[in-house]
Structure 1
């Protein structure tokens, strides 16, 4: 496992082909912006699942906690363990379901806080914790309309009473998840909010007062303070992207991730020459092309072939031909004296222009979440300062040394 701290010469090597730049100053800025939008007493959970959406879970978690986040959210037990092994001691909510005694023991050992979704799961947790002779904080999830994990909201009181009556389990929160908070039409979101409120009323009538209630994801955090309760769970906004175009004016967020690669060859093509597999591009005239050392094995979707642009010297340049596993080609006929080794910006800022994950998502008919999570760890993660110079390698801390 390589760690830059022990091999300083690794940084130039990591930038020889292609890399992902992570701007921790932007993480800090976004968390501070989100923090200021919340009422006093409302916690901010930074969702760092999926290796912090590809940004490096440990490094992002540390930065978020230093600038106003108080909780962390992960999807899986190994994701939580990675944070604990990095000596992060903030409370960590396991958003995914765990169902076996082995999982329960791991959760307890690593001081994670699980989500309970049904009585069967609760009984497994209670029995296992009784054998361990210790108690565990648990979070009850209600299904208010997502139709994914969670107990039906109509059964909130009965479920909470069951868990409350079980030994060695302590209810730490009750929460739900919104399905359409990023849509301009708020009808479904308001219905889910109403159902969550009705569930809370059930709990109050049963004499149950959970320490925390939480409902809002990034979109809901930006939409309506009434959805904040005691805590919000922000994922995409932490990484500097707005969940929907109509929310883009709600907070001044800064993109955290930039993706760059180097030109490995510049060459001349004659008119009529085919480019790449399948000849999906035929040169319409004599032209100059550049080969770039990044491809779909790194996370550049092949479906962007002949559709995307990149930035070189602040100029938008079209990609041509089929994107291949390790390389892609550009039409650089408009750039004079281009040299091997020059940097190409696939996502991010170059001089006065910027290409965003939203741009790719719109071309592909998908969402920016998928774009961010798609960059493989074959691409080194490097943290940068705001002057765009490499500060240090994320390495072991940011991406588990998997680059």
Structure 2
């Protein structure tokens, strides 16, 4: 096998294939389940699926809102032509707040009245007020409160001051408070006591905001796992990220909703060779053949987002070659990784599916479990030199 000639195949060396029909389908399923508006989270380049294309598919599937982490992500969506409701929430010190307030042409139309920015503190509200005055436009502001994640959001001790400043800014014409929200820490563990505590804290924040004279139009707490598993937390909208892309937000706990993974990662064998017992594979010889076998070289590595923990002494991730799952053998390199073909016949140029969906194909969740991480990380980090290709399985029927 080692002297096989290379087979010329058209197409990229390695590619991420994204089925936009799967994203549309997943949003329809989620929207029907929750019964409230759905905010599709498309941050981090659409969780590795491509932000603009994922956003378009999510909207086509019925998502009423889109959300990003950063202002730059939100501005990219506006530049792509998206004119609908849009939230961003990560305000770094010194960020240019005038740009998101200026986005949109017809300021009388809700759908193009700018980007909803999020404030965690009085200082951020002051910065937004200055930006609104500079551009002569009323801002759209959502307030985020920390209900127990201890990450972003206003600490409980500052809620009263935050809400008072927010109401004063409304009276002054600096902004309209359009939403109030928070984020769960443990929603993928439905029985965790933190979930009840956070929901109670959020209700307290809603009540205090009302006492301060605020009438935020959109109340949202639930992420993907809570949207599916905790109906009481759905409030006025839910924010769904990972579930939009067809991945399980709470592996082992989520009922089968019929979500479809949108991403398939595939490449081709670059080399096939035979090993004898005692042959070590890759750096450090962390795997040594204990029998005669055949290995194939897969031309992707950690430079393309393949986790180095895809192989470790206790196990490994698998890929699909020839309809069978084949384990990774030896250390993952920057540009390549070896897989054990078990002595089966294979040829240079044969397709390798790293993960996706369908019979015999490992999933992103399988990779996450093999690597000791979560499916979010697997799909978000993949890329590097890979080509991203879009298909529409509904249109192709």
Q: Tell me the TM-score normalised to structure 1 length.
A: 0.88
Q: 2:93 & 2:302 partners in 1: Cα distance? A: 36
How many residues are paired up? 373
Q: 2:324 & 2:342 partners in 1: Cα distance? A: 12
The 8 Å contact of residues 319 and 354 in structure 2, kept in 1 or not, is answered as yes
- Is the partner of 2:90 in helix, strand or coil? strand
The 8 Å contact of residues 325 and 362 in structure 2, kept in 1 or not, is answered as no
Match of 1:316 among 319, 325, 328: 325
Match of 2:34 among 30, 33, 38: 38
The 8 Å contact of residues 23 and 58 in structure 2, kept in 1 or not, is answered as yes
Q: 1:275 & 1:250 partners in 2: Cα distance? A: 39
1:21 — aligned with what? 17
Match of 2:390 among 374, 383, 400: 383
Measured against aligned partners, the alpha-carbon deviations of 1:278-303 in whole angstroms (never above 9, x if no partner) come to 12222223322211111111111111
2:287 — aligned with what? 281
Deviates more, 1:377-386 or 1:123-132: 377-386
Q: CA deviation at 1:362?
A: 1.5
2:107 — aligned with what? none
Q: CA deviation at 1:340?
A: 0.9
Measured against aligned partners, the alpha-carbon deviations of 1:164-204 in whole angstroms (never above 9, x if no partner) come to 21231110111111111111323111111001111212223
2:371 — aligned with what? 364
Q: CA deviation at 1:250?
A: 5.2
Q: 1:343 & 1:43 partners in 2: Cα distance? A: 41
The 8 Å contact of residues 34 and 228 in structure 2, kept in 1 or not, is answered as no
Deviates more, 1:196-205 or 1:170-179: 196-205
The 8 Å contact of residues 31 and 69 in structure 1, kept in 2 or not, is answered as yes
The 8 Å contact of residues 177 and 214 in structure 2, kept in 1 or not, is answered as no
Structure 2 alignment gaps of length 5 or more: 1-8, 104-113
The 8 Å contact of residues 153 and 196 in structure 1, kept in 2 or not, is answered as no
1:213-232 paired onto structure 2 within 5 Å = 213-232=219-238
Q: 1:339 & 1:286 partners in 2: Cα distance? A: 18
The 8 Å contact of residues 98 and 114 in structure 1, kept in 2 or not, is answered as no
Q: 2:287 & 2:374 partners in 1: Cα distance? A: 27
Q: 1:365 & 1:291 partners in 2: Cα distance? A: 24
The 8 Å contact of residues 262 and 293 in structure 1, kept in 2 or not, is answered as yes
The 8 Å contact of residues 16 and 262 in structure 1, kept in 2 or not, is answered as no
Q: 2:318 & 2:28 partners in 1: Cα distance? A: 32
Q: Tell me the TM-score normalised to structure 2 length.
A: 0.89
1:210 — aligned with what? 216
Do residues 107 (structure 1) and 100 (structure 2) align?
yes
CA distance 1:250–1:274, shift in 2 (3 Å): closer
Q: 2:99 & 2:203 partners in 1: Cα distance? A: 33
Do residues 194 (structure 1) and 189 (structure 2) align?
no
